[in-house]
Amino acid sequence: DDGPVEYPFDQPPTSLQDIANFIQSEKCKRILVLAGAGMSVASGIPDFRSSNGLYATLDATTLTGTEEQIEAILRDPSYSLDQHLFMENPLPCLEVNREFILGVRERRWKATLAHRFVELLQTKTNGGRGKLVRLYTQNIDGLEDQCEGIGHQRRIAVHGSMDEAECASCHATMDFDRFCELVARQIKDISGQDPSAPKESTPITCEACGQNTVKPSIVLFRSRLPEVFFQKVPGDIEDVDLLLILGTSLAVAPANSIVWRVPKSAMRVLINRESCGWHLGLDPHSNDRDYLARGNCEDVVLDLMEKLGWLDELKPLLDRHELPDSSAELLKERLLKLNQKQAPQKVVPANAEQG
């Protein structure tokens, strides 16, 4: 249908203030968020593909496997997270992810301002009932679980999540704390930093089926996405008024399909370092409903939360040290500037003598 589209917003968005006004308007009833790696960068969490990420720094010769398996990982480090390899030999996957798994349990990394922004979309809109339909995250770090306003019920981890455990054979879940205990006790530390780690790895056995195939609930290469993604998307995109896209290049399908599947009337806001998504029809230059807020996620969402009047909600996070250091500094600087702006100016009486 190429007929005229009736938008729920009065004017095409041209600024963050326009976005803030729309979020707070009665016409904006349903908000969907699609997030990528940029949302978690400020947490300092390890990533896989950067120049100093897990793949680039991996010494495959430290992993447990046959000569052929190690050679395959040397050629392509991502093979360590391959579903077929895991079913043959689960140890390389667990060894590569040991620090990540245990770090998630210890909350070594903290939810960012971008995560807190999504949380406030739920707790500060619609009289506290929330306008957030769902957060679809392509990240596997589980950081959104630190935000009470999001929780598992409003999050779909498209590529799975490191903060849950399941059996790859029978799909039975394992208590995450129990899984972490077994990882700490049975999986060697290839970084050599944990003196309590075993010298050799032994696989983790499923208590339901007895197979040695328990892993974090992440999607391995050559395996299917979680069914919940395909089940929830059709209902979630219905009647969406605003799609917020945070820190993703929109290169990976099928998560990026959400961009073109939302209603043609929905405002679409991309918060990212560079423009992207043209292949999905996202074009801030020529589409009335699209807007690019160019920059780092933390900077842009802080600007947006200031325009929404939500910065006071973030102050307790500083007191409880629940933000990454860089995010906390960013927030402190912003609050200081605001306080200086709001400080009463010294008034010179009108009848004061002129010097």
Q: How far is CA 353 from the centre of its chain?
A: 61
> Of the listed 84, 115, 152, 159, which one is catalytic?
159
CB 150 within 8 A of CB 48: no
Indicate the pairing of strand 155-157 with strand 132-137.
parallel
Annotated active-site residue 171? The verdict is: no
Helix (H, G, I), strand (E, B), or coil: what is residue 21? helix
Closest C-alpha to 244, from 107, 110, 104, 125: 125
Helix (H, G, I), strand (E, B), or coil: what is residue 152? helix
Distance CA 274, CA 206 (A): 44
Helix (H, G, I), strand (E, B), or coil: what is residue 266? coil
Q: Which two tokens stand for residue 73?
A: 């990982």
CB 276 within 8 A of CB 250: yes
Distance CA 100, CA 118 (A): 24
Integer Rg of the chain from CA = 23
Distance CA 309, CA 311 (A): 6
Indicate the pairing of strand 173-174 with strand 160-167.
antiparallel
In DSSP notation, 318-352 reads: HHTT-S-HHHHHHHHHHHHHHHHHHSPPPPPPTTP
Indicate the pairing of strand 160-167 with strand 214-218.
antiparallel
CA distances (Å), origin 246, targets 165, 268, 270, 286, 336: 26, 11, 6, 20, 26
Distance CA 201, CA 188 (A): 5
Residues involved in catalysis: 159
